[in-house]
Amino acid sequence: MHILFIGGTGNISSACVELSLQRGHRVTLLNRGRQPSPWGQAVRAIQGDRDDPALLRRVAEETRYDVVADFACYRPEQVEAAVSAFGGRVGQYVYISSASAYQKPPNHYLITESTPLRNPFWDYSRQKIACEDRLVRAYREEGFPMTIVRPSYTYGPTWIPNGVGGHGYPVLHRMRQGKPIVSQGDGTSLWVMTFHTDFALGFVGLFGAAQAIGEAFHITSDEVLTWDQIYQTIARAAGCELTLVHIASEFIAAVYPQWGQGLLGDKAHSVVFDNSKIKRVVPEFRASVSFAEGIARSIAWHDADKSRQVTNEELDRMWDHLVALHDRVAGS
C-alpha cells in the first residue's frame, strides 16, 4: 500500500512510519521539515504546510493514496480541508484524535469506544471532538472513508512521561536531585501508559481494513497503574530515591491555569480502556512493552547523550513554588 503520513516524525507517528516500512508499504511524508527524517531515501518527503489548502489538494491529486494518516489535524477547518482534498481520492483517511475526548469526569472507570465524547475542561479535547463530528458527518453524508483513532498517553524513548508540567527530561533530573515530584490528587487515580511501538502495531494494522471504515478505535496498553506507581517505576529505572508530594488538581489549576486544563480534562481522572474492539479488527495487536521496560529504554536514551539531557530552570522553579505554596497552605 502507498501511505501518506501528514506529520510522521513525531513521538507516535515515527513508530508508525517505521512499522509501515518494515511491512513493505510505500511511504510518503508531508510536513514542514522541521525535524530531520531518519529514513533517508526510504521515504518520499514533501515539505509544506498542511494548512495550505492548495498544497493539500495538489498532494491529493498527484497520487491516489491507499491510506492517509493525519497526525497534524487539530481543528475542524483542517478536517474540512482534508475532506475537500482527499474526498474521492483516498482509500482510507485515518484521523488521530485523543482519548481525552471521552467524557470527563467519566461515569464509569472502564472506557469503550461508545463512551460519550464530552470535555468541558480542555479546549484541545473539544477541538478534537469537533473534528470527529465533522468526519462522522462526512462519512454518513458523503461516504468519506474515515477511521478515527484515539491514543491515550503514548510515549517512546525520547519521552519521560509526567502528569504535571509536561513530559521530558526535567522531571527525571529533578528526581535525581532528590527534589519532590508533584503527583496530582492522592496519587491513586488509575492510568495507562502505552509504548509507541505497541500503538503502532494496532494503528498500522488498521490500514486497509474494511471493518475500520466509519469506525473509531482507541489503542492502549492493558497495564493499569496508579500515578504514584508510574513515578515509582520511573525512579527505580533511574536508580534514585523518590519523594512525592500529593497536591489536589484543583489547587494546581488555580496556581497554574496553563496546567489546569490537561489535569481537570484528562489526568486527574482514572482511565482504563477496554481494547476489545481493536483486538477484534487487528487480532495481532497486543501491548507487549511494560511500563518498567519502556521507561528503562527512555531513560537509557537520555543517559546515552548529554545533548538530550535538557533541563528547564523555569519549570523547576514553578514546581518548587507549587510545592512551597501547598506546604504553606496545608500548614496554616
- The pLDDT of residue 330 is 82
Comparing 32 with 279, the larger pLDDT belongs to 279
- The pLDDT of residue 201 is 98
Place of cell 488498521: 206
Answer whether 272's CB lies under 8 Å from 109's CB: yes
Answer yes or no: same fold for 2-154+193-219 and 158-192+223-270+291-331.
no
Residues β-bridged to residue 96: 149
Per-residue cell: 162: 509526567
- The pLDDT of residue 332 is 58
- The pLDDT of residue 9 is 87
Tens of pLDDT along 8-67?
888 999 999 999 999 999 999 999 887 777 888 899 999 999 899 999 999 999 999 999
Q: Does domain 2-154+193-219 have CATH number 1.10.730.10?
A: no
**CATH number at 158-192+223-270+291-331:** 3.90.25.10
- The pLDDT of residue 109 is 84
Average predicted confidence (pLDDT) for the chain: 95
Answer whether 91's CB lies under 8 Å from 65's CB: yes
- The pLDDT of residue 291 is 98
What is the band of 166 on the pLDDT scale with cuts at 50, 70, 90?
confident
Answer whether 298's CB lies under 8 Å from 153's CB: no
Comparing 6 with 331, the larger pLDDT belongs to 6
Q: What average pLDDT score do residues 126-148 get?
A: 98
Q: What average pLDDT score do residues 294-319 get?
A: 96
Q: What average pLDDT score do residues 130-143 get?
A: 98
* CA atoms within a 13 Å half-sphere pointing along the CA-CB vector of 198: 27
Position 194 pLDDT exceeds 70 = yes
Note the pTM of the prediction, 2 decimals. 0.95
- The pLDDT of residue 298 is 97
Q: What average pLDDT score do residues 137-142 get?
A: 97
Tens of pLDDT along 199-255?
999 999 999 999 999 999 999 999 999 999 999 999 999 999 999 999 999 999 999
Tens of pLDDT along 151-162?
999 999 999 999
User: Which of 103-107, 151-155, 327-331 is most confident?
Assistant: 151-155
Q: What SS3 class is residue 134?
A: helix
- The pLDDT of residue 156 is 96
d(CA 112, CA 176): 38
**Domain ranges in the chain?**
2-154+193-219, 158-192+223-270+291-331
Q: What average pLDDT score do residues 267-280 get?
A: 96
Place of cell 510505500: 26
Q: pLDDT over 70 for what percent of the chain?
A: 100
